[in-house]
């Protein structure tokens, strides 16, 4: 994985999807199955982790990096970068906004995925504020920011929510064929889900699978991942949103 913004090549092929995560494991928990599915459909997908996620009770910076590297391979990501912002004290400062905007300008994602804005975790709330601000800033001219001006066309929101709420999604991605590698990528973070934790059912990993099963049930599939939007979505063919073969006579 890359270590500094200067390590991101100026000629990096543009990303189709960039998931911005407050901590390593948030992307895997929320949209790991979707990222792998989209990659297998030929799209370039990546993850931008804002912090190291440490300290935690059973983790360390080095262990978390190794866990993220394993998860990256399991999800077949085309790009992953950790911005190294402070965990537990992430704030929507101008310096942090600039750093994220520079990554957007260098990776040119067509779709950004951000945490759902309503959350009990302050890092997640700050992350969404930063991402939305950076999306606007990334198009600015007459600036010393790295990269060329670029405005990511769409921003969607994923569920990594520390509240017992279920907002209504804009759509749900069928991850029935990628649920197992998703769960393996989550389990790769042993410091967060296994070490020092009781194996008594239901575990945190059980809960993650159960939520994917619920959203799969909601769309008539085995497993799913919900995605939110603050803006209306465009569609021509109802087949795309109904899953039905319409127009066959």
Enter the tokens of residue 111: 């779709």
- Across the chain, mean pLDDT equals 96
Share of the chain above pLDDT 70, in %: 98
Residue 183 to residues 28, 141, 149, 205, 214, Cα–Cα distance (Å): 8, 42, 37, 8, 15
At 179 the pLDDT is 99
- 122-150 average pLDDT score: 98
At 10 the pLDDT is 84
* Domains of the chain in sequence order: 11-231 (3.40.50.10320)
Residue 244 has pLDDT above 90, yes or no: no
Question: Tell me: the pLDDT tens digits for 52-89?
Answer: 999 999 999 999 999 999 999 999 999 999 999 999 99
Residue 249 has pLDDT above 80, yes or no: no
Question: Tell me: the pLDDT tens digits for 26-59?
Answer: 999 999 999 999 999 999 999 999 999 999 999 9
Question: Tell me: the pLDDT tens digits for 206-241?
Answer: 999 999 999 999 999 999 999 999 999 999 998 888
Please count the other Cβ atoms lying within 10 Å of the Cβ belonging to residue 67.
23
- 158-176 average pLDDT score: 95
- 85-96 average pLDDT score: 97
Strands 154-158 and 224-228: antiparallel
Enter the tokens of residue 57: 């009770």
At 243 the pLDDT is 81
Question: Tell me: the pLDDT tens digits for 102-111?
Answer: 999 999 999 9
At 211 the pLDDT is 98
Residue 102 · residue 135 · CB < 8 Å: no
What's the per-residue H, E or C state across 37-77?
Answer: HHHHCCCCEEEEEEECCCCCCCCCHHHHHHHHHHHHHHCCC
Distance CA 60, CA 162 (A): 22
Name the β-bridge partners of 173.
225
Q: Among 136, 115, 146, 131, which Cα is nearest to 12's?
A: 146
Residue length, the chain? 249
Please count the other Cβ atoms lying within 10 Å of the Cβ belonging to residue 26.
25
Residue 205 · residue 186 · CB < 8 Å: yes
The pTM of this model reads: 0.95
DSSP for 100-156, written as a single string? HHHHHHHH--SEEEEE-S--S-HHHHHHHHHHHHHHHHTT-SS---SS-----SEEE
Would you state the torsion angle of the CA atoms of residues 26, 27, 32, 35, taken in this order, to the nearest 10 degrees? 170
């Amino acid at each position: 994985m890359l270590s500094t913004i200067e390590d991101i090549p100026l000629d990096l092929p543009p990303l189709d999807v960039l998931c911005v995560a407050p901590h390593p494991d948030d992307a895997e928990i929320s949209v790991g199955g979707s990222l792998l599915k989209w990659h297998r459909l030929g799209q370039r997908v990546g993850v931008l982790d804002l912090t190291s996620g440490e300290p935690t009770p059973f983790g360390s910076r080095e262990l978390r990096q190794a866990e993220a590297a394993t998860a990256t391979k399991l999800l077949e990501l085309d790009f992953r970068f950790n911005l190294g912002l402070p965990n537990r004290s992430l704030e929507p400062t101008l310096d942090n906004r600039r750093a994220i905007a520079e990554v957007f300008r260098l990776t040119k994602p067509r779709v950004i995925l951000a945490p759902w804005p309503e959350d009990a975790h302050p890092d997640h709330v700050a992350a969404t504020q930063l991402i939305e601000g950076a999306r606007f800033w990334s198009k600015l001219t007459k600036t010393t920011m790295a990269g060329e001006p670029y405005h990511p066309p769409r921003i969607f929101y994923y569920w990594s929510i520390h509240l017992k709420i279920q907002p209504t999604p804009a759509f749900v991605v069928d991850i029935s064929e990628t649920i197992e590698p998703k769960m393996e990528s989550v389990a790769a973070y042993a410091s967060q889900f296994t070490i020092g934790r009781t194996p008594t059912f239901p575990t945190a990993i059980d809960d993650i699978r159960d939520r994917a099963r619920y959203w799969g049930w909601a769309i008539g599939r085995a497993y799913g991942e919900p995605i939110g939007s603050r803006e209306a979505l465009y569609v021509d063919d109802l087949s795309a949103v109904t899953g039905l073969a319409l127009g066959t006579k």
